[in-house]
Amino acid sequence: MADHRSAHISAITASQRLDSRGKPTVKVSVTTGAGTFSALVPSGASVGDYEAHELRDGHADDYGGNSVHQAVTNVENVIGPALIKQQFDVGDDLEKIDRFMIQLDGSKNKSKLGANAILGVSMACARAGAAAKGIPLYEFLRAQAGITGPYVLPVPFFNVLNGGKHSGNSMAFQEFMIAPVGAISLTHAVRLGCEVYQALKSVITEKHGASAIGVGDEGGFAPPITEPTEALDLLMAAVKRAGHEGKIKFGIDPAASGFYIRGAYDLGFKSKKQCQMSAANLSDLYRSLLDKYPIILLEDPFAEDDWEAWRRFNQNCPIELVGDDLLATNLERINTAIENSACNSLLLKINQIGTITESLEAARTAFNYGWRVFVSHRSGETTDDFIADLTVALSTGHLKAGSPCRGERVAKYNRLMDIEDQLNASSLSQEYAGKSMAWRGMD
């Protein structure tokens, strides 16, 4: 156990750094007697209306309006001095720290100080708290969340084909993911994912030419395809070429809010092609895909306020139905979805809500209702690997962090493999979720 004096904050600094799209983001460093602990905040492209507010400066001549100097200033001149004055113990008081910042901001969506400012402090304090306790971050977060039982290493859902707002092709659906549920360990799952990814690269090159293997924001390929069947057929071919048939399942994130226009779903929104569908017709499309392909997860198939479409689809949904924009990691939205029986899984994005405490609370609420929790990166990511520890801490059984390429994505998978090695070395009871979760449908 670290010295008790190491648990008090002596300094909090912030700076503007870059995310994976070359846009500014907030870096926060918290200093205690145990050292200095830093965090980088991610940012989304397809941002839901109900997410916590990301504070940007809006000056056109500074990173095109995307600079975050005010958020940095808020950390250094408002949040930092106020937190230091409180003399919180980072080892025991993460929830108090987060609640204090929420109160200090005072707005409903963290728009006064900025969710990016508040989250950076929250993440850095969690790291400082783990150090004060002398334990890994995943162990610290696990204790914060009250999770017990064997450790669960997640199934990685690799986003290997990009569309929607994440790419320049005409595919309306945003993500097509591969999930190595047939692997025997997390490390084995990463290997299978990488092998399918490389096979997909060659399949696309043969079909569309070398110019078609450019990647989208999350490392997935963005070939010139339009129809979801084209994407899924490419995945089927890649899995077969890699020799992993039967071990790989698929997930789709249409991110339907992005193509919900004037009461209809326009699958041609990225091209001049007219392809408007009602919610009922779109539901039929999804069900036809479920019948034909090994799909185990569907995320944001309808717009964030199309509650009736969600409710109807969930009445007879044989797979995991995940709410992202629908829920925005927000307790009010989660409770509304529970009342409406709108989905059966929460997508957990820490920057959607803005503190680690509220993220854990959202996960706990979802678990208590019998839902699953799917931890997620953002399209504007950083090299910070915090969510890898969070996923293990919560035993969610799966996360998505992009393709097995690009440093900001690979950082999460490398961290998960490090954690698996640590658990194996310490002989702690652990299992890989591909074997323990019923992936053909909900439990």
Catalytic residues: 218, 349
Please list, in sequence order, all residues whose beta carbon lies within 8 angstroms of the beta carbon of residue 173, skipping any fewer than 6 positions away.
163, 164, 228, 231, 252, 253, 254, 255
The residue assigned the tokens 């926060």 is: 28
Known binder of ligand: residue 358?
no
Contact of 43 with 116, CB cutoff 8 Å: yes
Say what the alpha-carbon torsion angle 63, 69, 71, 76 is, to the nearest 10 degrees: 150
Q: How many CB atoms lie within 10 A of CB 272?
A: 6
Task: Report residue 37: phi and psi, to 5°.
Answer: -125, 130
Known binder of ligand: residue 288?
no
Please list, in sequence order, all residues whose beta carbon lies within 8 angstroms of the beta carbon of residue 186, skipping any fewer than 6 positions away.
153, 154, 156, 416, 417, 420, 432
Sheet holding 276-277, edge to edge: 260-261, 264-266, 276-277
**In the 8-state DSSP scheme, what is residue 215?**
B
Amino acid at 414: N
Known binder of ligand: residue 175?
yes
Task: Report residue 15: phi and psi, to 5°.
Answer: -155, 160
Rounded alpha-carbon distances, angstroms, from residue 22 to 67, 120, 402: 11, 18, 17
Contact of 113 with 28, CB cutoff 8 Å: no
- Distance of alpha carbon 225 from alpha carbon 211, whole angstroms: 13
Known binder of ligand: residue 166?
yes
- Distance of alpha carbon 362 from alpha carbon 342, whole angstroms: 16
How many CA atoms lie less than 13 Å away from 404 in the CB half-sphere? 23
Known binder of ligand: residue 8?
no
**In the 8-state DSSP scheme, what is residue 53?**
P
Known binder of ligand: residue 376?
yes
Binding site for Mg(2+), by residue number, is 253, 299, 324
- Indicate the annotated binding residues: 166, 175, 253, 299, 324, 376-379, 400
Annotated binding site for substrate: which residue ranges? 166, 175, 299, 324, 376-379, 400
